Amino acid sequence: MVRGHNFILTWTEAVEGGSFSRKDQPDEYAVMLPKSGAVIDWNGTTTEVPGWSIAFVPAGESTITLPGGGRMIRLFSIRSADLAEACSNSRGYDTPRSHIPPLEAWPDPVGGWKVRHYSLDVPKEEGRFGRIFRCTTMMINVLDPFEGPRDPSKMSPHHHDDFEQCSLAIEGQFDHHLRWPWTTDMADWQSDRTVSMASPSALVIPPPLIHTTRATGEGHNQLVDIFCPPRRDFSEKLGWVLNAADYPMPD
């Protein structure tokens, strides 16, 4: 379990029949199932979710059961205070980052609250970046995988002004390249870093670091980018958010 400024990530390797409940959950949370399916109970309804899917579970009481066991990733907002306190880096945000805006939930879903789930088996499309889904609290981009190492002549260094990015490696190996911009205060200056991480691993990248990631594994390399709350710039790209019809943008 790790946290960022606004989010919490839990990685679970469940035994057969493993069951995971939330009581008095304050807001919507996300569930990613890389391989094994799950059964989600919420508000008296039962929803079967196949593997290689993402699901969004509303606030309140819910239970997720993995009949065959397997891997599960859950993403919560920082409003789940009990989970924030249980994170391995729980003290890392005792001093809030003043340059990162506080979490504000996006509008309620169209048609009211229910468990919604979406297949990640979405073919690559020219002009669309990855496979992006959002809910009221999260945006998750399941990037197109790299088979073997990424071409080092086709990298994508960039930065964000005021939000964190969590890069979650669920398969393969990656080098994260980080560069600290120079400010007027030399105390802020740091040397460039390359962080090499195998899966499973998560790297929280604060603004305004310049960053880019290169897949380095010889096999299948799968990275997932996580943002909390959803990104407006990605949401404004026509066709990028695959479930935009269910979750409207703020006015």
pLDDT at 102: 87
Residue 86 included in any domain? yes
Q: What does the pLDDT look like over 107-156, one tens digit per residue?
A: 999 999 999 999 999 999 999 999 999 999 999 999 999 999 999 999 99
The answer on 147 and 230 residing in a single domain is yes
Q: What does the pLDDT look like over 160-197, one tens digit per residue?
A: 999 999 999 999 999 999 999 998 989 889 999 999 99
Q: What does the pLDDT look like over 43-76, one tens digit per residue?
A: 999 999 999 999 999 999 999 999 999 999 999 9
Is the pLDDT assigned to residue 233 strictly greater than 90? yes
Count of domains forming the chain: 2
Residues paired with 62 in a beta bridge: 22, 42
Residue 186 included in any domain? yes
Beta carbons within 8 Å of 202's beta carbon, 6+ residues apart:
2, 9, 11, 166, 167, 168, 169
pLDDT at 96: 83
For 195, the domain range is: 128-235
The answer on 155 and 77 residing in a single domain is no
| Token couple for 137 | 């609290």
The answer on 200 and 132 residing in a single domain is yes
The answer on 170 and 213 residing in a single domain is yes
| Token couple for 77 | 């907002």
Angle at 65 between CA 64 and CA 67, to 5 degrees: 155
What CATH number is attached to the domain comprising 134? 2.60.120.10
Greatest Cα pair distance, the chain, in angstroms, is 57
The answer on 139 and 226 residing in a single domain is yes
Out of 45, 71, 93, pick the residue that ends a domain.
93
pTM: 0.96
| Token couple for 136 | 């009221």
